[in-house]
Amino acid sequence: MGHPPIKRYFAAEQIRVAEEATGRLLADGVLMRRAASGLAGAVAAELRSRHGAVYGRAVTLVIGSGDNGGDALFAGAVLRRRGVAVSAVLTAPDRAHAAGLAAFRSAGGRVVDGVPDTAELVVDGVVGLRGTGPLREAAAAVFAQVRVPVVAVDVPSGVDADTGVVHDPSVRAEITVTFGARRIAHALAPAACGRVEVVDIGIDADGARVEMLSDRDVAEGWPLPGPASTKYTQGVVGVIAGSDRYPGAGILCSAGAVAATSGMVRYVGSAAATVVDHFPEVVVAPDLDGAGRVQAWVVGPGAGTDDAALELLRRVLATDVPVLVDADGLTVLAHHPELVVERHHPTLLTPHDGEFERLAGRSPGHDRLSAVRGLASALGATVLLKGKVTLVADPGGEVLVNDAGNSWAATAGAGDVLSGIAGALLAAGLSPRVAGAAAARVHALAADLAADGAPIGASELARAVRPAVRSLRAVR
């Protein structure tokens, strides 16, 4: 895919290794001074954006122990020299960063007992990158009184850097300023982190296993017809969804697939007549024997959970093409996991939380990253865990994240549309992980376009898939 590059997110240990690899730059405090300068610049820019000036504005630092507080204190000294009235609340006075505190006081910064009413911005320098758990009592008491925007250092305090778990209490930041590379929490807890700004301090982090496709990545990887393309080279996807009694899933899943690519959609099931009424371009068959050849299958939405559904799922998973399993198919699979564990061809499972619990035997809980990785590893399949932040993990633990940025897709039938989109991308040759993440991105954008600020149904979302792809391509 294209440029700008995929966003990569790193664990705390990876950042520590990258910092230590700089040698004297770390030992001599150069990295901290660079971080402090970048943090001060970000705070100044926010003051200018909100108030039109930096000089004469008021900022309060909330300081914990260790280097995170040191970054904030050194930044406070820089801001004070630029004419900002800077105060600091020390939540652990005996453990504040000594050199940072000395520089802060030398520049004219004041240590205070609480956030002054005059503060226009608060800097969260309480818990460092390797901190876990909720805010401690002293810090929680300070932030309970904060009514102005917060700029967090590295990761908002009370948010676990490696899991994105947002504890109670925790800090909710307007901006998070981080150094050298993004942290995993920035992808998994966007509401807590706010806008993330990365300051280059000269470290080179490596080995990210959590990534996010940009809109441009998705647009440039989307399967579009070329001069020599045919309906077969574009991908033929088979859809097994819905029934004559409940045709909605078949219609919506087919709608997503038709809108996603210009190949061919084959529908198998008792809702064939209704599906073709909605989409005359779909080739229909009443059963699997008459389906014809496909390059990927989507099976499960509204397809039932009886013995016939089990046999159909067994036959589909016995094929040698990629298979996406959703909804009722996941319920059947929960009782027969061997069908996918023993499979040696690409498989994408797309559960919501309830379906995940049936498959895994437990809820994904707060640490969704570990949960989705664990299930993908156990089943030997790629797992797309739906949510406002969707996680797509392959069996090796590589994860792509999509932040929808909205919840307009939280409506009945929206998941059927997503399955159709992702299935079409599988048929076009994308890997399960990329197909899932790209489909989630377009699905979220389609929901946003269709909603335009008001609730929608899944049919409206499906009609917005093509405009969503078009809008992504416009950013290239």
Sign (positive or negative) of CA dihedral 56, 60, 65, 67: negative
> Residue 262's pLDDT is what?
81
**Is 341's pLDDT higher than 70?**
yes
**Is 86's pLDDT higher than 70?**
yes
Binding-site annotation: residue ranges for (6S)-NADPHX: 67-71, 128-134, 154, 249, 302, 352, 416
**Residues 58-80, mean pLDDT to the nearest whole number:** 96
pLDDT tens digits, 363-401: 999 999 999 999 999 999 999 999 999 999 999 999 999
> Residue 407's pLDDT is what?
93
User: Residue type at 368?
Assistant: R
pLDDT tens digits, 200-215: 999 999 999 999 999 9
Domains of the chain in sequence order = 7-212 (3.40.50.10260), 215-473 (3.40.1190.20)
Binding-site annotation: residue ranges for K(+): 68, 124, 157
pLDDT tens digits, 126-149: 997 777 899 999 999 999 999 999
Binding-site annotation: residue ranges: 67-71, 124, 128-134, 154, 157, 249, 302, 352, 386-390, 415-416
Question: What residues does 54 pair with on adjacent strands?
Answer: none
One-letter-per-residue 3-state SS of the chain: CCCCCCEEEECHHHHHHHHHCCCHHHHCCHHHHHHHHHHHHHHHHHHHHHHCCCCCCEEEEEECCCHHHHHHHHHHHHHHHCCCEEEEEECCHHHCCHHHHHHHHHCCCEEECCCCCCCCEEEEECCCCCCCCCCCHHHHHHHCCCCCCEEEECCCCCECCCCCCECCCCCCCCEEEEECCEEHHHHHCHHHHCEEEEECCCCCCCCCCEEECCHHHHHHHCCCCCCCCCCCCCCEEEEECCCCCCCHHHHHHHHHHHHHCCCEEEEECCCHHHHHHHCCCCEEECCHHHCCCCCEEEECCCCCCCHHHHHHHHHHHCCCCCEEECCHHHHHHHHCCHHHHCCCCCEEECCCHHHHHHHHCCCCCCCHHHHHHHHHHHHCCEEEECCCEEEEECCCCCEEEEECCCCCCCCCCHHHHHHHHHHHHHHCCCCHHHHHHHHHHHHHHHHHHHHCCCCCCHHHHHHCHHHHHHHHHCCC
**Residues 235-246, mean pLDDT to the nearest whole number:** 95
- Quickly tell me which residue has 């307009």 as its tokens: 408
**Is 4's pLDDT higher than 80?**
no
pLDDT tens digits, 138-192: 999 999 999 999 999 999 999 999 999 999 999 999 999 999 999 999 999 999 9
**Whether the Cβ atoms of residue 310 and residue 334 lie closer than 8 Å to each other:** no
Q: For residues 384-401, b (16+ Cβ closer than 10 Å) or e, as one string?
A: bbbbebbbbbbbeebbbb
**Residues 251-257, mean pLDDT to the nearest whole number:** 98
**Is 8's pLDDT higher than 60?**
yes
**Residues 437-449, mean pLDDT to the nearest whole number:** 97
At residue 167, φ and ψ (nearest 5 deg) are -85, 170
Q: pLDDT class for 248, splitting at 50, 70, 90?
A: very high
Among residues 403, 300, 310, the alpha carbon closest in space to that of 347 is found at: 300
**Is 2's pLDDT higher than 50?**
no
> Residue 196's pLDDT is what?
97
At residue 265, φ and ψ (nearest 5 deg) are -115, 125
Average model confidence (pLDDT) for the chain? Answer: 95
Q: pLDDT class for 302, splitting at 50, 70, 90?
A: very high
> Residue 3's pLDDT is what?
45
At residue 324, φ and ψ (nearest 5 deg) are -105, 130
**Is 29's pLDDT higher than 70?**
yes
User: In this structure, which long-range contacts are made by residues 460-465, counting pairs with CB atoms below 8 Å and at least 24 apart in sequence?
Assistant: 461/408, 461/409, 461/411, 461/414, 461/417, 462/252, 462/255, 462/256, 462/259, 462/417, 463/255, 463/259, 465/255, 465/256, 465/259, 465/260, 465/417, 465/421
Binding-site annotation: residue ranges for AMP: 386-390, 415
Q: pLDDT class for 361, splitting at 50, 70, 90?
A: very high
